[in-house]
Structure 1
């Protein structure tokens, strides 16, 4: 479980026990100094829990992924092209010249 989720589980624990958001923040800071948490973050999670959403996991968001995998993108492009041209393949592997153009002759 990642660090953020551990903190959220602690917040949910205090929420279920009837603590206020301010009390929960104070308890988390006092009892376990390794967690850095802002009061506004605790208030956000309390609001979310009160609305009935008890999940402590980040939800997937639409749009571009935050991490870009170059190798995966190149593979997807090659799969889409299905070998339609060498120039596409050279572009995908970041080559700027063919052997004939760079003087190797092979």
Structure 2
């Protein structure tokens, strides 16, 4: 069928398509549109890659592009305005770039050039491309099933008072959390690990005086009875 008037054909260039689209609008919009764009959260359109000439529907970003084999769409965008996309929306774009056969670096360049220069890092793109290559196309975040990040502070304090020699891993097993979580909460309790026991990080005046009294008593005992000389040491061999 010959191309007449403002009707779009597969042989039209991108510029010709845009000119005919503008002519259709000037005619009162009676002609069917050459593309459909549903974009609710911004006034700026998005550029569609020319490689997407095959049927590709519902990219899943709150807007939709419907491409047929006889239509090529390229819409200019203001590159100075940066769009706000969720993580899932970026992953959809990465999956689109992956199916086009592009590399992660090229995909990052395309997305950042369209959506904003800081919306995506190359490392993130490489991570998702690696997942796609392994056949994992799940884009949603899976619920975390790890151990809790919060613990019973009273129970933790009670455990270290009963046995100050307990390690963080032993405490983690009893509290059902990770040892990193235990360390964090012990720091909140101003506890530090010294000489194989948990002691207060900041000593109170009474605790300081108790240590002074112990030192004085040991010195007095040594002066009255030189018990240090009775210590016997030897080679274990």
TM over 0.5: yes
Alpha-carbon distance in structure 2 between the residues aligned to 1:34 and 1:5:
18
CA RMSD of aligned residues (A): 2.2
Name which of 104, 127, 145 aligns with 1:21: 104
Name which of 137, 141, 158 aligns with 1:54: 137
1:39 and 2:122 aligned: yes
CA offset at residue 48 of structure 1?
0.5
The structure in which a higher percent of residues are helix is 1
* CA 3–35 in structure 1, closer or farther in 2 if over 3 Å, else same: farther
Give structure 1 regions of 4+ aligned residues with deviation exceeding 2 angstroms.
Answer: 63-66
Q: List runs of 5+ in structure 1 lacking aligned partners.
A: 67-106
Q: Tell me the residue number matched to 2:189.
A: none
Q: Tell me the residue number matched to 2:90.
A: 7
Q: List runs of 5+ in structure 2 lacking aligned partners.
A: 1-60, 62-84, 150-237
- CA deviation string 1:4-35 (max 9, x = no partner): 00000000000001010000000000011176
* CA 65–49 in structure 1, closer or farther in 2 if over 3 Å, else same: farther
Report matched runs for 1:76-91 at 5 Å.
Answer: none
Structure with the greater relative contact order (CA < 8 A, sep ≥ 6): 1 or 2? 1
Alpha-carbon distance in structure 2 between the residues aligned to 1:14 and 1:65:
37
Q: Tell me the residue number matched to 1:90.
A: none
- CA deviation string 1:45-100 (max 9, x = no partner): 0000111010111112212578xxxxxxxxxxxxxxxxxxxxxxxxxxxxxxxxxx
Larger Rg: 2
Contact 1:28 1:35 in 2 (8 A): no
Contact 1:10 1:28 in 2 (8 A): yes
Instruction: With the length of structure 1 as denominator, give the TM-score of the two structures.
Output: 0.56
Alpha-carbon distance in structure 1 between the residues aligned to 2:140 and 2:127:
14
Report matched runs for 1:86-101 at 5 Å.
Answer: none
